[in-house]
């Protein structure tokens, strides 16, 4: 049984009247790439935020690296976050800083390293994502794919042990997608990290994930390797894996009988 970096048990969380998580259980093993998938709006980003301590769940255990996250103090969270990285869907680069300064930011905040060392580290990280030559550009000058790579460089600046990726493949062209896929897998192996990828893209995610969780209606409805899931007993899981337009998640938004509706006006 591999050691789990993250263990979540019985997670419950609601926002207003909406129940977002209703008894969610999952475990993220160390050193592997775990994927979270599911239909839109199931709160996958919220889950990442709960793991990162930005949001407090209503109940349940959230243990990261042995720490019970919801009960950590501000100072303890600060320490925990040094070892965590998060790559946002919008890359969230600081628009008033250059690419170099963006990647240098976590180093400047968390360490007292002299400027020369910071420079070397930043260039190394940028090189790992292939953007060392873009160091002086501003975020507004970058394409979407490049922004994401810079954001990735920033995320690995402090050599975190754990990275969360929020929809990294969304809206990317095939080449950029391929670059990201290889980076995620490469980094996970070379830096012996644990990765948690939240995504819709079955194909890309399945190609790198060691294990998948499918989440719907606030709980896990399927877990295992991609192959296991394609033959899963649940029709919902299979619909998701195959991308079928109709199934447990219906094609039609609830409405009256079609013929009645159309002929009713006549």
67 binds other proteins (CB under 8 A): no
Shortest Cβ distance from residue 162 to other proteins (Å)? 12
Shortest Cβ distance from residue 205 to other proteins (Å)? 21
| Residue 172 or 216 with smaller CB distance to other proteins | 172
Shortest Cβ distance from residue 158 to other proteins (Å)? 8
Shortest Cβ distance from residue 78 to other proteins (Å)? 5
86 binds other proteins (CB under 8 A): yes
Q: Work out which of 63, 72, 77, 220 binds other proteins, going by CB under 8 A.
A: 77
Site string for other proteins, 20-49 (x = CB under 8 A): -----------------------------x
Q: Give how many residues touch other proteins by CB under 8 A.
A: 25
Q: Work out which of 90, 143, 207, 225 binds other proteins, going by CB under 8 A.
A: 90
Q: Work out which of 113, 134, 138, 176 binds other proteins, going by CB under 8 A.
A: 138
Tally of CB atoms within 10 A around 177: 18
Q: Footprint of other proteins on this chain (CB under 8 A)?
A: 49, 52, 54, 77-79, 81-82, 84-86, 88-90, 92-95, 98, 105-106, 108-110, 138
């Amino acid at each position: 049984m591999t050691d789990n970096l993250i263990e979540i048990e019985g997670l419950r969380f609601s926002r207003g009247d909406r129940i977002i998580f209703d008894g969610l259980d999952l475990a993220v093993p160390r050193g592997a790439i775990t994927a979270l998938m599911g239909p839109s709006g199931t709160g996958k980003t919220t889950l990442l935020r709960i793991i990162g301590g930005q949001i407090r769940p209503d109940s349940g255990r959230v243990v990261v690296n042995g720490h019970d996250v919801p009960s950590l103090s501000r100072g303890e969270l600060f320490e925990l976050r040094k070892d965590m990285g998060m790559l946002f869907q919008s890359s969230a680069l600081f628009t008033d800083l250059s690419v170099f300064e963006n990647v240098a930011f976590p180093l400047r905040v968390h360490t007292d390293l002299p400027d020369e060392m910071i420079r070397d580290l930043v260039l190394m990280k940028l090189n790992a994502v292939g953007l060392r030559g873009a160091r002086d550009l501003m975020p507004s000058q970058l394409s979407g794919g490049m922004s994401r790579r810079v954001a990735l460089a920033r995320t690995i600046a402090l050599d975190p042990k754990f990275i969360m990726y929020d929809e990294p493949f969304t809206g990317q062209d095939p080449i950029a997608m391929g670059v990201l896929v290889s980076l995620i897998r490469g980094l996970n192996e070379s830096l012996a990290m644990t990765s948690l990828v939240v995504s819709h893209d079955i194909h890309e995610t399945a190609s790198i994930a060691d294990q998948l969780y499918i989440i719907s209606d606030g709980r896990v409805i399927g877990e295992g390797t991609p192959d296991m899931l394609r033959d899963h007993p649940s029709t919902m899981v299979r619909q998701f894996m195959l991308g079928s337009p109709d199934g447990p998640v219906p094609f039609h938004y609830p409405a009256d009988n079609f013929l009645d509706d159309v002929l009713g006006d006549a």
